[in-house]
C-alpha cells in the first residue's frame, strides 16, 4: 500500500512543479465563489490560499494546496502522542519524567477541481495528511453539485463557527470534530443555511470488561444543521447504536441523540468570545478524539452490560477568548469540560475517564499569508471513574508553511 501511495505522489510532483513555474500572486476569490475559467486566482481565506489553473481546452479549473507543519512538543508528566490526546493521561503506561518530540505528521496535501457546466459547477476535493503513522492517509474526498454533496468530509453535526484557533490539531477537547462518509443537501439563504445529511454510523462500543466491542448499525446517522452567518450554529443528530450475537455475543440496539451549538461574539474590534456546548447520549463518536479510531477506549457511544446495550450520556462545554494584536500577532486562551456518565460499579471501566478539563493559552504570529509560528501551553485534568485525579502539562511550538 505504501508503495502505491509513493508512486501516486511521485506522479503528481512533476505536474505540480510545472504549475509552480507559472505561479504568481493573484486576486483573492472568496471561498465558495466560482473561479473564472482560464484565469489563475487564489481561492479561500488567507490562511488557506491555493493557486488555481485552467486545464487548456476544458471548463475545469484545478488547484493544489496544503501546508507543511512542524510541531515541537514537550510533555512534562504524560506522553500525549504526536497530536495532543488528553485522554491518554488515563493510561499509567504513558507516564514520563519529561519527553521531547518533533513531528511533521500533521502536514497535508489537497487537490481541488471546479468544472463549469450549463447547469452549474461541479466541485471535487481530496485531502490527506500523515497522521497517525506518517504514511499518507485520507482526510477528505467528496464532490458537490448545487446543494448536493457526497463523499467523506466534516460531519454535518459539526459546526464551523466559533472554532478557537489553537496549535493543537482540531478544536479543543469537547468540540464536535468528525469526518464521515455521507450524503448531504444544503439549502442556502441570504443570512445562513440549513443542511440535512445521512452519515456513516461509526459506533465505538466497549464491553463491561473494558475492551472494544464490534458494532453493526442497520441505519445511517441522521444529522441536521443550521448556521446563521458567521456568528451562530446549531445542529442535531439521531442515530441507532446496535450490535448482534455474531459480533459481540449480544443482540441489542438503543437510541443515540444529541444537540450541539457554537457561537462567536465580537467584543470590540479585536476581541472575540467563542462558546461551544454538546449534550446528548451516544455521542462519543462525534467528539474530537485523536487518534482516530480510539474512541471506544476513551468516549464509547454505548456499553455492553450482560445482554443489554446501554448508551452513554455525554455533556461538554467550552469557552475561549481571542485577541488580535498589531502586526499579525494574536493570542487565545480557553478551557473546555467533558463529562460522560459511565456505570460506576463495572470493574473493567474503572480506568476510563469520568470527566476531563482541557485548557490552553497561545501566542501566534502570522508573519505573512503563507507563514505562521506560535507557542502554546496545554493543561489537562482528568478524573478517572475510580476517583483518581491526574494532571498533565504540555508545551507545543509550531511553524506552519502554506502553499
Averaged pLDDT score across all residues of the chain? 85
Give the pLDDT band (50/70/90) at residue 31: very low
pLDDT tens figures, 63-108: 888 899 999 999 999 999 898 999 989 888 999 999 999 999 999 9
pLDDT tens figures, 96-139: 999 999 999 999 999 888 898 999 999 999 999 999 889 999 99
288 against 243, higher pLDDT: 243
Predicted structure pTM score: 0.85
Cα-based distances in Å from 47 to 192, 371, 402: 23, 9, 7
Sorted by where each begins, the domain ranges of the chain are 2-402
Which architecture does CATH list for 2-402? Beta Barrel (2.40)
217 against 365, higher pLDDT: 365
Q: Is the pLDDT of residue 35 over 90?
A: no
pLDDT tens figures, 190-214: 999 999 999 999 888 998 888 888 8
Q: Is the pLDDT of residue 342 over 50?
A: yes
Q: Count of alpha carbons within 13 Å of 24, Cβ hemisphere only? A: 5
Give the pLDDT band (50/70/90) at residue 402: confident
pLDDT of residue 296: 67
Q: How is residue 322 written as a grid cell?
A: 481571542
pLDDT of residue 76: 98
Rounded CA-CA distance 42/24 in Å is 10
Amino acid at each position: 500500500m505504501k508503495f502505491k501511495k509513493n508512486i501516486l505522489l511521485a506522479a503528481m510532483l512533476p505536474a505540480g512543479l510545472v504549475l509552480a513555474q507559472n505561479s504568481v500572486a493573484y486576486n483573492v476569490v472568496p471561498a465558495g465563489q466560482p473561479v473564472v475559467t482560464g484565469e489563475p486566482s487564489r481561492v479561500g481565506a488567507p490562511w488557506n490560499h491555493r493557486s488555481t489553473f485552467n486545464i487548456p481546452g476544458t471548463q475545469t479549473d484545478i488547484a493544489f494546496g496544503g501546508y507543511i507543519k512542524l510541531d515541537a512538543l514537550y510533555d512534562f508528566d504524560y506522553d500525549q502522542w504526536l497530536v495532543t490526546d488528553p485522554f491518554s493521561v488515563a493510561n499509567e503506561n504513558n507516564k514520563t519524567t519529561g519527553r521531547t518530540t518533533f513531528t511533521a505528521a500533521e502536514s497535508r496535501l489537497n487537490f481541488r477541481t471546479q468544472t463549469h457546466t450549463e447547469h452549474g459547477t461541479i466541485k471535487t476535493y481530496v485531502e490527506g495528511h500523515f497522521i497517525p503513522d506518517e504514511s499518507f492517509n485520507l482526510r477528505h474526498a467528496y464532490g458537490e453539485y448545487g446543494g448536493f454533496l457526497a463523499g467523506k468530509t466534516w460531519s454535518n453535526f459539526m459546526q464551523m463557527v466559533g472554532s478557537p484557533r489553537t496549535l493543537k490539531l482540531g478544536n479543543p477537547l469537547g468540540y464536535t470534530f468528525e469526518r464521515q462518509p455521507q450524503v448531504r443537501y444544503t439549502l442556502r439563504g441570504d443570512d445562513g443555511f440549513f443542511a440535512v445529511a445521512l452519515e456513516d454510523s461509526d459506533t465505538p462500543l466497549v464491553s463491561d470488561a473494558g475492551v472494544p466491542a464490534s458494532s453493526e448499525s442497520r441505519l445511517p446517522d441522521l444529522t441536521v444543521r443550521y448556521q446563521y452567518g458567521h456568528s451562530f450554529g446549531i445542529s442535531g443528530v439521531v442515530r441507532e447504536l446496535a450490535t448482534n450475537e455474531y459480533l459481540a455475543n449480544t443482540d441489542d440496539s438503543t437510541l443515540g441523540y444529541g444537540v450541539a451549538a457554537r457561537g462567536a461574539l465580537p467584543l470590540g474590534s479585536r476581541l472575540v468570545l467563542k462558546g461551544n456546548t454538546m449534550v446528548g447520549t451516544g455521542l462519543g463518536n462525534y467528539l474530537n478524539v485523536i487518534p482516530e479510531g480510539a474512541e471506544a477506549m476513551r468516549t464509547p457511544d454505548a456499553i455492553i452490560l450482560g445482554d443489554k446495550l446501554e448508551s452513554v450520556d455525554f455533556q461538554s462545554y467550552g469557552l475561549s477568548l481571542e485577541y488580535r494584536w498589531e502586526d499579525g500577532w494574536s493570542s487565545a486562551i480557553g478551557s473546555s469540560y467533558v463529562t460522560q456518565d459511565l456505570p460506576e460499579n463495572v470493574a473493567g471501566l474503572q480506568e476510563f475517564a469520568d470527566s476531563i478539563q482541557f485548557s490552553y493559552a497561545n501566542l501566534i504570529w502570522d508573519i505573512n499569508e503563507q507563514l505562521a509560528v506560535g507557542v502554546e501551553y496545554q493543561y489537562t485534568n482528568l478524573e478517572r471513574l475510580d476517583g483518581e485525579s491526574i494532571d498533565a502539562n504540555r508545551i507545543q511550538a509550531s511553524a506552519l508553511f502554506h502553499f
